[in-house]
Chains A and B, each alone.
Chain A
Amino acid sequence: MNLNMFVQHFINALGLGSLYGLIAIGYTMVYGILRLINFAHGDIFMLGAYFVFFATIQFKLPWEFGVSLAIAGATLCGLLVDRIAYRPLRSAPRISALISAIGVSFFLENLAIVMFTGMPRAVLQPPWLMKPILVGDVRLIPLGLMVPTISFVLVSGLLWIVYRTRPGLAMRSISHDIETTRLMGVSVDRIIALTFALGSALAALAGIMWALRYPRVEPFMGIFPGFKAFIAAVFGGIGSIPGAMVGGLALGFVEIMSVAFFPNLSGYKDAFAFVLLIVILLIRPTGLMGEKMEEKI
């Protein structure tokens, strides 16, 4: 493998990793606050991709407008999921909410089949995003550079919200102790809704960029990226936003580089993430940047 190839793979891994990271943030925020694996998160990602497909191809809306609509639509879906399927179960055993989440994920996937048919559909890639730029001997596509850049900007913005604003303070407070936070006069349900909205918006954006990179959409496209992003969140330390990003990038690099260096392992590509998950759970269940969680008796 020469240097050019390596740079190419490096850029690819950076792109894939930051997409995993963006999805992982939604998992990590919701888990940090509610201790719930939001199985439906990967399907919000899928909906984001579908919405942009319909806006730009079926309704011929301009790109900027289509993307905004798609993000808004997916965010609304995320809010509805929380309101309908999770909020009634706040005081129920945690596993009940988890089963509800599985049900929602199942529902959204099949709803997508009903509404959009199960057929994969091709996504239009805007030419200006795909026109290669030659840097030395390395061919770079603007999209490949755009994805990590946008992700980085968004994560910085999110960190600002979480660590520098009052709703962010409330979020962090809820993740420590939901009942005490309620007593402090914080409208807990509203803050949780905000968390879902932020996570869903990021997932939708990741879905849109995913659909541009691998130009197609299908109802089950969210399952594997969703699982992998959750694994990235666990790897980085569940509850930690920088951790989710680091975990996502690590996973992206493991996947791209292992296939690049050992092409005959490409059939096992999807298994790497799960092996990584099991190893991390056994060695360091709190992940790279996670806080230690005490078992309450």
Chain B
Amino acid sequence: MNGTGTRARSGLLNLLPLAALVCFLWWAPANLDGYKLRVINLIAINAILGLSLNLIYGMAGMFSLGHAGFMAIGAYVSALLILTPEQKVTMWILEPIAPWLLNLHTPFIVSLVLAGLAAAFVGWLIALPVLRLGGDYLGIATLGFAEIIRILIVNLTPLTNGSLGLKGIPAHTDLWMSYGCFLVILVFVARLMGGNFGNVLRAVRDDEVAARTMGIDTFRVRTLAFTLGCFGAGIGGALMGNLITTIDPKMFMITQTYNLLMIVVVGGLGSITGSVIGSVLVTTMLEWLRFVENPITLGSLHIPGIPGMRMVLFSVLLIAIIIFRREGIMGTREFSWNWFFPPKNAPRALPDEGGRGR
């Protein structure tokens, strides 16, 4: 819709924040403490996870509550591939590790890609039966699958070390890695949604029957979007495992999916920009709110910390947003340089219609 001139200018302008980000990533490791670095890493990882959930839910309109399960697959596949045989032997104490798995060892990048592919494959398998369901049934079925994945991980001890989890995963996730993956996925999703596939996806989301009448194979489109989203979840899970260096099945409970849902809802369902903003806000807020759980001393006044308070405030916020500002921060809009430099000769953009008819 934009002229070639505006597009070239946008491309140039995109280099500005990119350069700023690179400078920041170069500056940060030497000047910030480990805790802050971990939060900054988490922002990128949560943005990947939020984007992939938004692709499934916001853009393709499939209410999925299974993201934690696909993250778990990614995290486990990656961890199992990069742990050394010596580490594996000492870690499996309940039952010996499966022999074929013991000597399996790949570089981190390979394990990362395989983690995404494994999650995507399982997502594709699940999509075949489940995507025939609609609305909230889909949500509860995907939640069921995520829970089944988790229970399998707890019980398949020779493969996963059961409920003990995996420890000592090499900390491969650094700022360059997490932001690199984030940028790749961001550009991919933005290109995808800007192209024909994006239009098809929106058509399927807004009115499936109409889309089918137009000759769109809705089931195939939804399967593809779901599988791509699961790929993102697998990548995000693998990066998270390599950031925290320990994983266990408890990490991938439904709470994890709720946090991602929060990111997507706060940012705006269906908005790429929104998911990124949502990730920054939710991740920093989740960390910042920890102060209510720590004891506070103001002069002589001593307020004991209240465990659980963080999540109480957080859930109140989720409810408040959904009641008072359902479309989140961005709605379905996207960031564009045209906000700052309105293109000449171009017709004014139509006023945003607000909520969606879903």
Interface residues, chain A, with chain B CB atoms under 8 Å away: 35-37, 84-85, 88-89, 92-96, 98-100, 102-104, 106-107, 109-114, 117-118, 219, 223, 227, 230-231, 234, 267-268, 270-271, 274-275, 277-278, 281-282, 285, 295, 297
Contact A37–B140 (Cβ < 8 Å): yes
Residues A278 and B258 in contact in the complex (CB < 8 Å), given A106-B315, A114-B307: no
Q: How large is the interface on B (under 10, 10 to 19, 20 to 34, 35 or more residues)?
A: 35 or more
Contact B140–A277 (Cβ < 8 Å): yes
Q: Select from chain A the residue with minimum beta-carbon distance to B151.
A: A271
A285 to B135, CA, bound (A): 13
Q: Select from chain B the residue with minimum beta-carbon distance to A266.
A: B155
Contact A285–B308 (Cβ < 8 Å): no
By a CB distance below 8 angstroms, the chain B residues around A271 are: 147-148, 151-152
Which among A35, A92, A96, A110 has the greatest number of chain B C-beta atoms within 10 A? A110
Residues A118 and B318 in contact in the complex (CB < 8 Å), given A100-B323, A281-B137: no
Q: Select from chain A the residue with minimum beta-carbon distance to B312.
A: A110
Residue B311 CB within 8 A of the other chain:
yes
Q: State the Cβ distance, A258 to closest chain B Cβ, in Å.
A: 14
CB-defined A-B contacts under 8 Å, sample of 5: A100-B318, A110-B314, A114-B307, A118-B307, A223-B254
Kindly count the residue-residue contacts between A and B in the assembled complex, taking CB atoms under 8 Å apart: 120
Identify the 3 closest CB pairs spanning chains A and B, nearest first.
Answer: A113-B308, A274-B144, A107-B315
Q: Select from chain A the residue with minimum beta-carbon distance to B269.
A: A95
Contact B308–A118 (Cβ < 8 Å): yes
Residue B167 CB within 8 A of the other chain:
no
Q: State the Cβ distance, B182 to closest chain A Cβ, in Å.
A: 25
Contact A277–B322 (Cβ < 8 Å): no
Interface residues, chain B, with chain A CB atoms under 8 Å away: 63, 129-130, 132-137, 139-141, 143-145, 147-148, 151-152, 154-155, 209, 254-255, 258, 261, 265, 306-312, 314-316, 318-319, 322-323, 326, 355-356, 358
Contact A268–B326 (Cβ < 8 Å): no
Contact B265–A277 (Cβ < 8 Å): no
Which among B129, B143, B323, B358 has the greatest number of chain A C-beta atoms within 10 A? B323
Q: Is the interface of A mostly helix, strand, loop or mixed?
A: helix
Contact A103–B319 (Cβ < 8 Å): yes
Q: Is the interface of B mostly helix, strand, loop or mixed?
A: helix
Contact B151–A270 (Cβ < 8 Å): yes
A36 to B139, CA, bound (A): 12
Additional 6 contacts, C-beta under 8 A, given A100-B318, A268-B151, A274-B145: A92-B326, A99-B322, A114-B308, A227-B147, A230-B140, A234-B140
A184 to B265, CA, bound (A): 37
A195 to B273, CA, bound (A): 41
A106 to B265, CA, bound (A): 15
By a CB distance below 8 angstroms, the chain B residues around A285 are: 133, 137
Contact B323–A85 (Cβ < 8 Å): yes
Q: Select from chain A the residue with minimum beta-carbon distance to B157.
A: A267
By a CB distance below 8 angstroms, the chain A residues around B155 are: 267-268
By a CB distance below 8 angstroms, the chain B residues around A281 are: 130, 133, 137, 141
The listed residue (B141, B310, B311) touching A278 by CB distance below 8 A is: B141
Contact B63–A95 (Cβ < 8 Å): yes
Q: Select from chain A the residue with minimum beta-carbon distance to B63.
A: A95
A270 to B130, CA, bound (A): 20
Contact B315–A278 (Cβ < 8 Å): no
Residues A277 and B154 in contact in the complex (CB < 8 Å), given A89-B323, A110-B308: no
Q: State the Cβ distance, A130 to closest chain B Cβ, in Å.
A: 31
Contact B322–A96 (Cβ < 8 Å): yes
Residues A95 and B141 in contact in the complex (CB < 8 Å), given A114-B308, A278-B129: no
Contact B307–A98 (Cβ < 8 Å): no
Contact B147–A282 (Cβ < 8 Å): no
Q: Select from chain B the residue with minimum beta-carbon distance to A107.
A: B315
Q: Select from chain B the residue with minimum beta-carbon distance to A109.
A: B311
A231 to B312, CA, bound (A): 27
A85 to B323, CA, bound (A): 7
By a CB distance below 8 angstroms, the chain A residues around B318 are: 99-100, 102-103, 106
A93 to B323, CA, bound (A): 11
A88 to B137, CA, bound (A): 23
Contact A282–B148 (Cβ < 8 Å): no
A113 to B314, CA, bound (A): 14
Q: Select from chain A the residue with minimum beta-carbon distance to B324.
A: A88
Q: Select from chain A the residue with minimum beta-carbon distance to B163.
A: A267
By a CB distance below 8 angstroms, the chain B residues around A100 are: 318-319, 322-323
Contact B148–A107 (Cβ < 8 Å): no
Contact A89–B322 (Cβ < 8 Å): yes
A107 to B313, CA, bound (A): 8
By a CB distance below 8 angstroms, the chain A residues around B323 are: 85, 88-89, 100
Contact A94–B316 (Cβ < 8 Å): no
Q: State the Cβ distance, A44 to closest chain B Cβ, in Å.
A: 15
Q: State the Cβ distance, B99 to closest chain A Cβ, in Å.
A: 22
